[in-house]
Amino acid sequence: MAVENFHVPPARPVLQLATGARRSQAIHSALQREIVMGELAPRAVLRELELVERFGVSQGTVREALLSLQEEGLVLRQPHRGTSVADCRADDAEELIRIRHDIECRGVRRAMARAGRKMAEPLARELDAMRIAAAAGDEYALSVHDRSFHMRLYAFADLPPVEPVLSRALVHVHRFKILHPAQGRDLMETANRHQGIVDAIADGNADLAASALAHHVMTIVDLGPRIVGEEAQGK
């Protein structure tokens, strides 16, 4: 897929490393934002020494951040070939949507059985944060709180080994949506799409929560309805 077709946001802000913060995590967060938002395009080369100079840290700190990004699948690190930003393909997004659907729809039923209505309050707070980000036009902050919403919900299912799988699926599907303008929708609409999930949980209705979540996942991007159709036909 041609890089020139991707949406490229305004220039990235300068990273401020907080005193006492883990520098590798701060660098990871900054680079993750740039990759998700398309400021670092798919297949772009990341040179360690340039990152060392940019962030004013050691090469070991940069490598630690890049390894974290590799674990998320956002960069590819190859011996003797360096590091590059991972592709962002429809085929990958499609498989990750399937994974999200299976993990989250089973997870919400387990979460409801374990925690029930008490999940609604922390999820409503994340939804409020999404709306604030949407009102400010901050698509990346909206994405962060969106992902946090889904991870908070899944945490109630108490399946820690599966959580990293869901986290990876979330970041890649969000990246695909952001980098392909045809998949976009109004930011406030994106935030408000979570209200039905919160309402179903607040009502204590596990079936409705699973149904709302399934619809939510499968309509994130235009690929979703086709996937649903294929699964209904047993493909």
Q: What is the CATH number of the domain that holds 77?
A: 1.10.10.10
- Full-model pTM: 0.85
Asked whether residue 75 falls in the same domain as residue 105, the answer is no
Instruction: Identify the domain boundary among 85, 119, 143.
Output: 85
Q: How many domains does the chain have?
A: 2
Question: How confident is the model at residue 101, as a pLDDT?
Answer: 94
Between the alpha carbon of residue 149 and those of residues 112, 123, 170, the distances in Å are: 15, 6, 11
Spatial neighbors of 184 by CB under 8 A, at least 6 apart, are: 7, 177, 178
Question: How confident is the model at residue 220, as a pLDDT?
Answer: 84
CA distance 214 to 107: 11
Asked whether residue 33 falls in the same domain as residue 132, the answer is no
More confident residue, 229 or 154: 154
Of the pLDDT bands very low, low, confident and very high (cuts 50, 70, 90), residue 226 is low
Asked whether residue 159 falls in the same domain as residue 130, the answer is yes
> Chain-wide mean pLDDT for the chain?
87
Question: How confident is the model at residue 20, as a pLDDT?
Answer: 33
Which domain CATH number covers 192? 1.20.120.530
Domain that holds residue 21: 7-85
